[in-house]
Structure 1
Amino acid sequence: MHKKLERFISLLIYLSILVPFVPVKAQTPDEWVTLGKRIHGGFGSYIALGIRIGLDAMKHLNTKPRKLDVTYFDGANAPYPCVVDGIMIATVATPGQISLQVIPSKSDVSNFGNSW
């Protein structure tokens, strides 16, 4: 019994060292849709937009999923739940990890400057 426990602990140590270095394989569009349906309850164009925004942000910031803190400014007329869920899916930033925050806004104007 003692020998089995030693082997198990050794295996856990090896895995904890190796797992962070295993490359994550890119997800297919079908997997994005399935994940969007599971998280959001359906999949539409705004979830796809959020995924695209998240992937584009990671590309331009040269970072990987889980390495990004996201702040989403919710406008008065924005389809926020859909877009935020898409961003969350792509970046793996979540409110529970405090890596995704949604800041409510009463007006879209303040986010982009003064109106004419």
Structure 2
Amino acid sequence: MFQKILVATLSILFFAFVVCIGYDKNEKNMVQNEEFLSQAVKFHGHLGPYMILGLRAGLYANQVLEKDPMQTEAIIETLPQPPQSCFVDGVQFATGCTMGKRNISLIEGEGLKASFKKNDKILILTLKQEIIEEINSLPPDDEEAWENLAKDLYQREIEKIFKISK
């Protein structure tokens, strides 16, 4: 029990460091930061495409809206179960929006759409259909294929992944 509490405490402290200190406003710089990716995977538990997509969406929202984990709100519309709901963990890790602060919510919907709001600025990212099809084409039990796609999505240009509305 003590070990679980210690691991949870250390994870929270690292998360606070990333959110408050170790953050670079340039989304491309953060994508190239291997330690950031490594900690996101530890936070979520594994490397998968939906967590990566949430991470990318959150990083882009930080860049466009200027990161503020207290003032930013995120609404995620997708299926409310894994693997699609893994997107939420990526957004939480990148933006600092959390269920505890109640500034992130998950609404059941088709496809995947993330809406970010800070003050009077709004950013909407809708996952492109070809990305959904690419993920759906993966064999469900081929963990290596899922991880390889996640790594590939982590490096792709944001405009090739999401339809962006500001």
TM-score, length of structure 2 as denominator length? 0.43
Larger radius of gyration: 1
> What percent identity do the matched residue pairs reach?
27
Separation of aligned partners in 1, 2:104 and 2:46: 21
Tell me, which stretches of 5 or more residues in structure 2 are unaligned? 1-19, 25-29, 112-125, 127-166
CA contact (8 A) 1:65 1:90 kept: no
- Answering whether residue 23 of structure 2 is matched by residue 26 of structure 1, we say yes
Separation of aligned partners in 1, 2:63 and 2:89: 19
- Aligned residue number for residue 58 of structure 1: 62
Among 91, 97, 116, the residue aligned to 1:93: 97
CA RMSD of aligned residues (A): 2.9
Q: Which amino acid aligns with 1:51?
A: L
Cα 1:84/1:76, change in 2 over 3 Å:
closer
Greater per-residue strand proportion: 2
Separation of aligned partners in 2, 1:58 and 1:52: 10
Tell me, which stretches of 5 or more residues in structure 1 are unaligned? 1-22
Separation of aligned partners in 2, 1:91 and 1:57: 8
TM-score, length of structure 1 as denominator length? 0.58
Separation of aligned partners in 1, 2:21 and 2:56: 18
Q: How many pairs does the alignment contain?
A: 86
Deviation at 1:95, TM superposition (A): 0.7
Separation of aligned partners in 2, 1:56 and 1:83: 14
SS in 2 for 1:42: coil
Among 47, 64, 69, the residue aligned to 1:43: 47
CA contact (8 A) 1:66 1:91 kept: no
